A and B are shown apart, each in its own frame.
Chain A
């Protein structure tokens, strides 16, 4: 290092020089204007940084440390036993994976993945230098389901394909969830789809004992289910609240009349067979929303069969496990505060799934008035759960028939697949997706694709939804254009996908392409979808 550089480095530690160094530096500064300027700047810098005012740490910090110390001292000598993964998470993720057309149920499944993991709570052992067995924790645990009413808000984000037909193009999904619950049979949940924009709307579910009421703003339809139907639906929605368990490849369901403690105790004692490839482990405690959460990591989320060799009678030839999850469980109430998961190697894949509680209020549940919720429209009997029809049916009347983009830039295309969703009990078509692929880039246009098989080649993808309140606002933020008889909006996504959206009455349409620019989409709509309305 040259002399000047050495003086510069002395400047950097100016308040820690030896006496000799101070003298040498002072002499240098008399001669070097560059170093004088640097010294002045750094003096200001140091003064500025030293005006940093330290915060007082939260009072719980010391309390938690001392409590952890006491726990470790009290629990030394015990051993940790391996625990099994939560079957509910597995089942719920599998449900997301099965859904090829977005519907209220896909949103609900997304929420249930996160919220339902409360069954895992007793499996979490407290952090200790020597671990505590989950079974012993279970015995000392007062309860496994929330005993206090609560109100919470949460957000759900994940990336998933636009549909199974476009599994190579991940779309950001976002939900906002509001939940007020007294117990598994008495709650109100509102699941608002924020993204994708075309699915914007809210599904409201109110469970009042043996009566379950649902209302979907998108289709403006409502239903009531009572009696046994209600109890089974309540059971399903109860899973959303995480108050009951579910099936997995290795874990049997929890019977409604069986307490969670007994179920988990049986699991630990080995009287219920488990898949040894499942695992769950506590990785620590963290603070979420100012509360202490036990953090558990578990895998796999789903199991499946490798296609080759899975013809073993009654079983899977070569099982494949996918996905990992991490859940933050409130230490006191066992409520889920946060949940992260990923299924990147599944078709369709789900990535970067995050469920995050954004507010939590205890001792305030759903009021008796809320439980007698009346939707704004007449109700029909039976659940709003949609029925999906895949394959290659012609697009049903009631929604637009989406023709091939003949004569538009690019190679000829042909219809690859159509998926429709009908809503009982009327059987009304409420959603249709149609996929056209450019002929020359795909060699399998004449065969119906396997479920979940990704589309190859440039595409034109048309989504139609019943949206009685008109085109969702997020789609009206595009560039306004006139597309034939329709007023439309266009835009482009960061991944190069172009889109056009319009609405006619209660029907909202979104047209997307990875190769056709907006002007061609306008032409396609003007000559096809909107021409029909003239």
Chain B
């Protein structure tokens, strides 16, 4: 069982080619191994981004299905690739919402259920951030991904990630008062 205090990047970071191309059983096993390691953190990353359980589940499903297809083509799947695909899928979801949707139905429930305890306050605090700050601080502090990995995901250099983290932390100070948990 994954320790909540351990970042994703502390685990083995890649799953190599899943055996001989076309060996479906080996590919399935590789996919299962990927899901054993990354299903929970990936789902939670998407949940923080999208603030909608149904959407997070859909995006996570799509990500792992794509991972299967990637493995089937003999290509490597690592944690950076998974997060990047998941993030792109979440961006598609955002674009779709901007076109036609109102607030996701699960969002109100998310806030209502989680404001009574510390975890709820973390959720609420994250929800007050812009989506880019929320994503960045979650990946950096909660999932503890390496700045280089985050940079590859966002298409920026490692140094730029550090600068963005700095600015996001400053903005977060206006939301979370370090003198006490006043959320």
- Interface of A toward B, CB cutoff 8 Å: 8-9, 11-13, 16, 40-46, 48-58, 60-62, 64-66, 68-69, 72-73, 129, 284-288, 290, 326, 340, 342, 352, 354, 356
Chain A residue nearest in CB terms to B137? A49
> Considering the chains assembled together, what is the distance between the CA atoms of A56 and B140 in angstroms?
21
Which chain A positions have C-beta within 8 A of B122?
48-49, 51-53
**Contact in complex: B166, A129 (CB < 8 Å):** no
Q: Are A12 and B181 in contact (CB under 8 A)?
A: no
For residue B33, CB closer than 8 A to chain A, the reply is no
Residues of B within 8 A of A68 (CB): 61, 65
What's the nearest-Cβ distance from chain B to residue A56, in Å?
7
B60 within 8 A of A: yes
- Between A11, A42, A45, A46, the greatest number of chain B beta carbons within 10 A of the residue's beta carbon is seen for A45
Residues of B within 8 A of A50 (CB): 5, 141-142
Which chain A residues border B5 with CB–CB below 8 Å? 50
Give chain A residues whose Cβ lies under 8 Å from the Cβ of B138: 49, 52
Task: Given A42-B169, A48-B125, A54-B41, decide whether A64 and B181 contact each other with a Cβ distance below 8 A.
Answer: no
Q: How far is the CA of A49 from the CA of B175 in the complex (A)?
A: 12
Report which of B61, B126, B173 forms a contact with A41, defined as CB distance below 8 A.
B173
> A326 to B100, Cβ gap below 8 A?
yes
Q: How near does chain B come to A35, taking the closest CB pair, in angstroms?
A: 12
Q: Enumerate the 6 nearest inter-chain pairs by beta-carbon distance, A residue then B residue, closest first.
A: A44-B178, A41-B178, A57-B43, A287-B54, A12-B166, A54-B44
CB pair B181–A48 under 8 Å, yes or no, is yes
Q: Is B83 an interface residue (CB 8 A)?
A: no
Q: Are A58 and B57 in contact (CB under 8 A)?
A: yes
The contact of B169 among A12, A56, A58, A284, by CB within 8 Å, is A12
> Is B163 in contact with chain A by the CB < 8 A criterion?
yes
Q: Are A56 and B40 in contact (CB under 8 A)?
A: yes
Which B residues are in CB contact (< 8 Å) with A288?
A: 54
Docked pose: A72 CA to B65 CA in angstroms: 10
Residue of B nearest to A53 (CB): B119
Q: What interface size band does chain B fall in? A: 35 or more
Residues of B within 8 A of A (CB): 2, 4-5, 24, 28, 31-32, 35, 39-41, 43-44, 47, 53-55, 57-58, 60-62, 64-65, 68-69, 100-102, 105, 118-119, 121-123, 125-126, 137-138, 140-142, 146-147, 162-163, 165-166, 169, 172-173, 176, 178, 181
Contact B172 A45 (CB under 8 A): yes
- In the complex, what residues of B have CB within 8 A of residue A12's CB? 162, 165-166, 169
Residue in A8, A40, A61, A73 whose beta carbon sits within 8 Å of that of B43 in the complex:
A61
Shortest CB-to-CB span from A300 to chain B, Å, is: 16
Instruction: Return the chain A residue nearest B183 by Cβ.
Output: A48
In the complex, what distance in Å separates the CA atom of A55 from the CA atom of B102?
25
The distance in angstroms between the C-alpha atoms of A284 and B55, with both chains bound, is 12
> Complex Cα distance A55/B46, Å?
11
The smallest C-beta distance from B143 to any residue of chain A, in angstroms, reads: 9
Chain A nearest CB from B112 CB (Å) reads: 15
Residues of B within 8 A of A61 (CB): 39, 43, 57, 60-61
* 27 contacts across the A-B interface (CB closer than 8 A): A12-B162, A13-B162, A42-B169, A44-B176, A45-B178, A49-B126, A50-B5, A50-B141, A51-B118, A51-B119, A52-B4, A53-B4, A53-B119, A54-B4, A55-B43, A57-B40, A57-B57, A58-B53, A60-B57, A61-B57, A62-B39, A72-B65, A285-B61, A286-B58, A326-B100, A340-B101, A356-B105
Of B2, B57, B125, most A-chain CB atoms within 10 Å = B57
- B2 — which chain A residues lie within 8 A by C-beta? 54
Contact partners of B163 in chain A: CB under 8 A: 9
Residues of A within 8 A of B162 (CB): 9, 12-13
Contacts of B178 in A (CB 8 A): 40-45
Q: Shortest distance in angstroms between B79's beta carbon and chain A's nearest beta carbon?
A: 15
Please, how many angstroms separate the alpha-carbon atoms of A129 and B67 in the complex? 12
Of A48, A66, A285, most B-chain CB atoms within 10 Å: A48
A29 CB, min distance to chain B CBs, angstroms: 16
- A57-B39 in contact (CB<8A): yes
Residues of A within 8 A of B169 (CB): 12, 42, 45
A residues within 8 A CB of B105? Answer: 356
Q: Give Cα distance in the complex from A340 to B54, angstroms.
A: 18
16 more contacts with CB within 8 A, not counting A11-B166, A13-B147, A61-B57, are A12-B169, A13-B140, A45-B173, A48-B122, A49-B122, A52-B123, A54-B40, A55-B47, A56-B40, A57-B44, A64-B61, A66-B31, A69-B31, A287-B57, A287-B58, A290-B54
A48 to B40 Cα, complex, angstroms: 20
